[in-house]
Amino acid sequence: MDIKKYVKVQLAMNQMTLTELAKRMSEVSGKKYTRDSLNGKFYRETLSVKEMELIAEILNFIIEYKSV
């Protein structure tokens, strides 16, 4: 599952829209996020680790880093 699909599943589980997520990200980070800017980041695959960690914090899930 790609990141966009995973985030959309988490959004549905949290009864939140991408627009609401962008608003919360803006409030927490102090940076401007919109639904379109997040969609663009998902499409271009340019979401940073820091942004993904922020999304995880807002949607209450954990990102796990493992050695392979």
Question: pLDDT tier at 2 (50, 70, 90 boundaries)?
Answer: confident
Q: Is the pLDDT of residue 42 over 80?
A: yes
* 57-66: pLDDT as tens digits: 999 999 999 9
Looking at the predicted structure, is the pLDDT value of residue 1 above 80? no
More confident residue, 3 or 40: 40
Q: State how far the alpha carbon of 57 is from the alpha carbons of 62, 63, 67, in Å.
A: 8, 9, 22
Mean pLDDT of 42-63: 95
Specify the pLDDT at position 68: 86
Number of neighbouring beta carbons within 10 Å of residue 55: 22
